[in-house]
Structure 1
């Protein structure tokens, strides 16, 4: 079987192409794709518990910790103890963080709109059905 005929190769190749496109846009705004995704997952009003962000993005806690530190140094976020549960730390966006989040949101929406404008709805539905089924297979697959 050629690599181009495997599911994993095609998913990875597509994701790398999307990531390169997002990174080209992100660099114009002095952020990375990863930072953009973190910003998109922080509630602009209520903040988001730091412990909730890593699982949303499939990141290890250590990686997220380094990224949050970098984002704090760039003035995109700040941390604040939860007023009810002082052990919980919430991540909030600064005004600059809100601006960069909006850039990220527009970039993601623009790409998705281009996909929806180009690919017929029935084919997209089929794609979502297949990718969800692949995710279930991954979740259920056990290596010996």
Structure 2
């Protein structure tokens, strides 16, 4: 887990408090899918306990796991960027307890308070950058010829 991936390291106490007032606690059973790549992104989660894997559709193959997320980590970033469509899929690999947020509510909060909106965008942007690098690395591990995964 990177420092930017946790809300507590990315948002001020005031912004965290305001955001958490919009959360609801949910339980997600092991094996449940939180979302599918290409579907509408209308919510996101912060994991309290359990694990969620992110995966990517690869035609003709089983979807490879890109990353495994746990306590304190953000699940879902596509809700913040139009057209609000999931870029990855996600499933619970154990029973998960999480805080769930309605995406539209959080976007409206950010529009009403630009400082909160900027802080949330900075947090989610950091997570996004990390996830894209993880996806690149994982796909190179799985599909590139040996030795071709080095950064240029």
Give the structure-2-normalised TM-score: 0.31
Q: Using CA pairs under 8 Å that are at least 6 residues apart, name the structure with larger relative contact order, 1 or 2.
A: 2
Give the structure-1-normalised TM-score: 0.32
Q: Which protein is richer in strand relative to its size?
A: 2
